[in-house]
Structure 1
Amino acid sequence: MPFDEVLESTVFKMLKKVVEKENCEAYVIGGFVRDTLLGREGKDLDIVAVGDGIALANAVAQEIGNTNVAIFKTFGTAMLHFEEWELEFVGARKESYSPDSRKPSVTKGSLRDDQLRRDFTINAMALALSKNDFGNFIDPFYGLEDLEKKIIRTPTDPEITYSDDPLRMLRAIRFASQLNFKIDKLSIQAIEKMSDRISIISEERISIELNKIILSPKPSIGFKLLFDTGLLQMFFPEMVDLYGTEERDGHMHKDNFYHTLEVLDNVARTSDNLWLRWAAILHDIAKPATKRFVPEIGWTFHGHEDRGARMVPSIFKRLKLPLDAKMKYVQKLVALHLRPIALTKEEATDSAIRRLLFDAGDDIDDLMTLCKSDITSKNEAKVKRYLANYEKVKKKLVEVEQNDRVRNWQPPISGELIMETFGIEPSRAVGTIKNAIKEAILDGEIHNSYDEAFTFMLNLGKKLGLKPV
């Protein structure tokens, strides 16, 4: 057992001392024990006291001289910090649930009762803190065996576990996705049977688990499980609509659900950015709504990038995701995701590159990551050609930016300067001149410099019948 080192740590020695002084029974249980066995470092300790968890927390606080104890009487828990550790205390308990709520009725219980109420066997393993059995490993439901076999299993009947707290169905899939574990057959069957119970869970709680799945090393593992068990259909129907193919007159389009998962996994291999991963999930979200069959051409999804960008706010709002700059970022990438791909199919002009830089701004690198990830064809020659052209576009982006400084471009001529130069009030003419200067720079007619833009402004003003004052 790889616990020798942690048992010799300052925090465990301190806890042993306090538990002995208080003459109580206490255990570290759950995630820390699991992660230590997996060789993963953690600094969160869940401590179960057989009796009063808050009283043990106060005793620990007194021992370490920390008066900042957060107590949650409603839940019977307390939390405090010691060095770099976060310690959470709770009394061992039994739980019972009503069918329409995941909030349990709680009564005091034994360690075994507390382990039995845990979601999975790999989260029910414990380390004793009491003097006579300090460091003993307690595993009544064979969590270590499941950890070694890479299995997610519940300590009790999975139908009861998931019916009591339906969020556990998402947690099962989240752990399977994060750890690349299998969910055991009985659990899968129970999730399929109980999937509609997820409706009693708030969107906020669902999104927390969903984001953890998205941040997995290979998120497609979690999404395939969500889809196959019917859970995804309950809270993300737009993504489910991507599933399937259709053939007509010898033309078949790809399955956009599995294509989306490929793109998501591709992004995940290169970036931990949650919102870039969300852009991968949503980049083709409007394809079902824009699908059309055109004889002699085949299937088209014209305008799906614009329609998809318009769908982003409503999806974020329903899933209780942030409606701030993060949402705007995802919306921008969805709207622009075809632009670099289009440039790889032909010789990209400097003007097209300038406009892409201007529209993408600081997000150009993430946009290029998304677009490269979107190349998922099974035709190796096609992929090779796209990737070669992609590298040419990347190189040209650097060259044009060095020459023209269009990324995060600010107009060299302001509206105030236009009004001051010609002695005019705010009017359509001011906007016309500003826009013409922008277009001239993006088209390469003039350089992105004050002097050239000022001269351009004077000439344009003259055409509009304006005279400098």
Structure 2
Amino acid sequence: MKTPQLPDLPLFRTIADAAGELGYPAYVIGGFVRDLALARESKDVDVVCVGDGIRLAQEVGRKLPGRPRVTVFKNFGTAMLPTPEIEVEFVGARKESYRAESRKPEVEAGTLEEDLARRDFTINALGISLNPADFGALVDRYDGMGDLQRRTIRTPLDPDITFSDDPLRMLRAIRFATQLDFDIEPDTFDALARNKERINIVSQERITTELNKIIMAPKPSYGFKLLFQCGLLQLIFPKMALLHGVEKVGQHAHKDNFYHTLQVLDNVVAAGGDLWLRWAAILHDIAKPATKRYDKRVGWTFHGHEDKGARWVPGIFTDLKLPLGEEMRQVQKLVRLHLRPIVLSKEIVTDSAVRRLLFEAGDDIDRLMLLCRADITSKDYDRKNRYLRNFDVVEEKLKEVEEKDHLRNFKPVITGEVIMQTFGLKPSREVGELKDAVLEAILDGKVRNEHDEAFALLLELGEQKGLVRVAE
């Protein structure tokens, strides 16, 4: 692996000049250097100086064309300087000490060595000098380049101290391993298991941020396997951990729903699914442990797991501090409907069944079909292809019915208000029954979703109930 070289940007020489004038040894440190070595794009630069980071940022800002505005964060002792190419954060070198009940350290000025030692992983403790005597020289006190070469996540110091001091680093270890497809060094991984209970002092928002980054990785299943193996998943997302395991009675055994869920998640990722479709994959079978039953004739069943899972979604989103708006409702809908296309693919596909699916899925029908295709994880090649061919038939029928009836997100022309005005009724169960009856007739294709046809049916249904139309 080649030694990382700074991009040929005037910015870095300007920082070097300003640091030299102030007498502050300065270095580019951390993720930017790591990503240079890995040939990954990075837009954020961290500059550490042995001195006053805020003063250095202000001096650099005065020297740059246009004198860009420096944003100062006094409480953190940092300053941010935006430039057209890169955003640079400046900070003075520091050392940290921690209290057992908090992951927020006591910070004081330190040396470069002390600053590097406080970094989470060796691959993030790399630096490049901005000093005139050795401008561009690599600083690698903990063999971070060797760990990049070995594709290994390792802490610079004792991992028990590193993780106990700041337990969020445990999730970061798994996140980096997942994003980069690296291994976690054995002693470092063992320390994850030993210190897992420390995760309880970390805020849920921080945990969920790292979890979402794992989910957005190219192969998130790897991260979830690591989380489960070290015991962190059982603490931060126990409902998902409960999917793990196979129970067998006689010749009847169900599949391991944990590993099935991870395969569905990877399949969704391969198909280009966004964060919320990935969450739908994670949660589609989340209620199977709660609905698992054994029947001597048919074996294991999970009846109603899709409905129970959908009912759980708001609570899960609340617990994980995920957004409770449209994103949550979309995931809930996909969890509730994820079996419907599969059932359709096993039967004769009727217009009526397709209309109902289109009505319920609305604009999420394409995402639902993507999730359902991802849900076919059988290792039997012929069986899997048979299911996928059947899905082709369902999708063709969906397209055909949609073009004919325009049912995606359609609104029935007969509303509760129309029913009440027509028969002089107040809000009641009777109004709801009439509304549902008209809707069912439209979905069954007995009448079109067109006012005159649907209204004529309403009058007929009202007459059957002994209702009299109010004179206009």
Residue 462 of structure 1: how far off its partner (Å)? 4.5
Contact 1:405–1:448, Cα closer than 8 Å, also in 2? no
Contact 2:265–2:281, Cα closer than 8 Å, also in 1? yes
Task: Name the aligned partner's letter for residue 320 of structure 1.
Answer: K
Task: Name the aligned partner's letter for residue 401 of structure 2.
Answer: V
Aligned twin of 1:136:
137
Aligned twin of 2:323:
322
Contact 1:27–1:127, Cα closer than 8 Å, also in 2? yes
Contact 2:4–2:138, Cα closer than 8 Å, also in 1? no
Are 2:237 and 1:236 equivalent residues in the alignment? Answer: yes
Are 2:18 and 1:18 equivalent residues in the alignment? Answer: yes
Size of the aligned set, in residue pairs, is 467
Q: Which moves more between the two structures, 250-259 or 430-439? A: 430-439
Are 2:345 and 1:309 equivalent residues in the alignment? Answer: no
Distance, in Å, in 1 between the alignment partners of 2:394 and 2:218 is 28
Contact 1:406–1:448, Cα closer than 8 Å, also in 2? no
Distance, in Å, in 2 between the alignment partners of 1:468 and 1:392 is 49
The DSSP-based 3-state class of the residue aligned with 2:79 is strand
Spell out, residue by residue over 1:406-435, the C-alpha distance to the aligned partner (whole angstroms, 9 max, x if none).
Answer: 111112234444555x37354445544433
Spell out, residue by residue over 1:276-298, the C-alpha distance to the aligned partner (whole angstroms, 9 max, x if none).
Answer: 11111111111111111011111
1:27-426 to 2 correspondences below 5 Å: 27-64=27-64, 65-66=66-67, 68-419=69-420, 422=422, 424=424, 426=426
Q: Structure 1 residues 48 and 267 mapped into 2: Cα distance closer, same or farther (>3 Å)?
A: same
Which structure 2 segments of 5+ residues have no match?
none
Q: State the TM-score, normalized to the length of structure 1.
A: 0.95
Aligned twin of 1:465:
468
Contact 1:309–1:335, Cα closer than 8 Å, also in 2? yes
Distance, in Å, in 1 between the alignment partners of 2:316 and 2:159 is 31
Distance, in Å, in 1 between the alignment partners of 2:31 and 2:283 is 32
The DSSP-based 3-state class of the residue aligned with 2:80 is strand
Q: Structure 1 residues 11 and 411 mapped into 2: Cα distance closer, same or farther (>3 Å)?
A: farther
Task: Name the aligned partner's letter for residue 12 of structure 2.
Answer: F
Distance, in Å, in 1 between the alignment partners of 2:72 and 2:425 is 62
The DSSP-based 3-state class of the residue aligned with 1:190 is helix
Contact 1:372–1:390, Cα closer than 8 Å, also in 2? yes
Contact 2:68–2:83, Cα closer than 8 Å, also in 1? no
Residue 454 of structure 1: how far off its partner (Å)? 3.5
Contact 1:215–1:272, Cα closer than 8 Å, also in 2? no
Q: Which moves more between the two structures, 52-61 or 409-418? A: 409-418
Spell out, residue by residue over 1:237-268, the C-alpha distance to the aligned partner (whole angstroms, 9 max, x if none).
Answer: 11111111111121011111111111111111
Contact 1:7–1:13, Cα closer than 8 Å, also in 2? no
Identity among equivalent pairs (%): 57
Task: Name the aligned partner's letter for residue 125 of structure 1.
Answer: L
- Structure 1 ranges of 4+ moved more than 6 A: none
The DSSP-based 3-state class of the residue aligned with 1:7 is coil
Taking only aligned residues, the RMSD between alpha carbons, in angstroms, comes to: 1.8
Which structure 1 segments of 5+ residues have no match?
none
The DSSP-based 3-state class of the residue aligned with 2:258 is helix
Task: Name the aligned partner's letter for residue 296 of structure 1.
Answer: R
Task: Name the aligned partner's letter for residue 424 of structure 1.
Answer: G
Distance, in Å, in 2 between the alignment partners of 1:223 and 1:423 is 57
Distance, in Å, in 2 between the alignment partners of 1:448 and 1:38 is 58
Q: State the TM-score, normalized to the length of structure 2.
A: 0.94
Residue 312 of structure 1: how far off its partner (Å)? 1.4
Task: Name the aligned partner's letter for residue 196 of structure 1.
Answer: E
Residue 361 of structure 1: how far off its partner (Å)? 0.8
Residue 468 of structure 1: how far off its partner (Å)? 5.4
Distance, in Å, in 2 between the alignment partners of 1:199 and 1:96 is 19
Q: Structure 1 residues 339 and 61 mapped into 2: Cα distance closer, same or farther (>3 Å)?
A: same
Distance, in Å, in 2 between the alignment partners of 1:413 and 1:222 is 50
